[in-house]
Amino acid sequence: MNERGERNSSVDVEAASSSSEFDSVIFYSSFIDKVRYYTQTGLTDIPLTSNGEEVVRALGKRIAGPGKILDPSHLKHAFVSPRTRARKTFELLFESCPTGTPQYSLEDGVREWDYGVAEGKVTKDIKAKLGQDWDIWTKGCPEGESPQEMTDRCDAMIKKIVDLTS
């Protein structure tokens, strides 16, 4: 979290290729208000903060455009989480790009974890309810996703990317 109480996920850009010409890119969101919206926010559709929007715009001017790391002419496809915060991050990142936004699709496979009963709660409250040994990576979330379900979803996305780039 930053000094404003926002979760600082910055703009997480994962490329399916290590070359300067990416085949696929997965976009996640910028700053969201974690004080107002608690900690575990997977399916809750919360907006970016105005600061988050400013950060993405500034980043986009530096990294998105012809001859830059995210050159739309070199991106075969982008997968964007259907959450408003992720879509807005993607749009703002390419907002000042003279060649426009690269081809993309909203993809449920790259959405955030389904926290189930833990949605909108802070970790200490989740542990009070589910046990002090609760850990999302090993226990998952009741009424949400299990670690195996998350693994299966990630594996399906990897297959989709491999199929797209083959």
CATH assignment of the domain containing 100: 3.40.50.1240
For the cut 80, the answer to whether the pLDDT of residue 21 exceeds it is no
Q: Which amino acid does the sequence have at 159?
A: K
Average per-residue pLDDT for the chain: 79
Report how far residue 24's alpha carbon sits from residue 162's, in angstroms, rounded to the nearest whole number: 9
Tally the domains of the chain: 1
**Residue 29: inside a domain:** yes
Within 13 Å and on the Cβ side, how many CA atoms surround 117?
13
Q: Which amino acid does the sequence have at 19?
A: S
**Residue 87: inside a domain:** yes
**Residue 145: inside a domain:** yes
Q: Which amino acid does the sequence have at 94?
A: F
Asked whether the CA dihedral 149, 153, 154, 158 is positive or negative, the reply is positive
Supply angle C-alpha 157, 80, 61, rounded to 5.
Answer: 130
Per-residue pLDDT tens over the stretch 69-121:
888 888 888 899 998 888 999 999 999 999 888 889 999 999 888 999 988 88
Tokens representing 9 are 């996920």
pTM (two decimals): 0.73
- Maximum alpha-carbon separation in the chain: 52
**Residue 93: inside a domain:** yes
The model's confidence at residue 14, banded by pLDDT at 50, 70 and 90, is very low
**Residue 33: inside a domain:** yes
**Residue 1: inside a domain:** no
**Residue 40: inside a domain:** yes
Are the CB atoms for 108 and 78 separated by under 8 Å? Answer: no
Please give the pLDDT value at position 33: 52
Domain that includes residue 80, residue range: 6-165
**Residue 57: inside a domain:** yes
Question: Is residue 121 helix, strand or coil?
Answer: coil
Please give the pLDDT value at position 165: 80
**Phi, psi (5° rounding) for residue 78?**
-120, 140
For the cut 80, the answer to whether the pLDDT of residue 59 exceeds it is yes
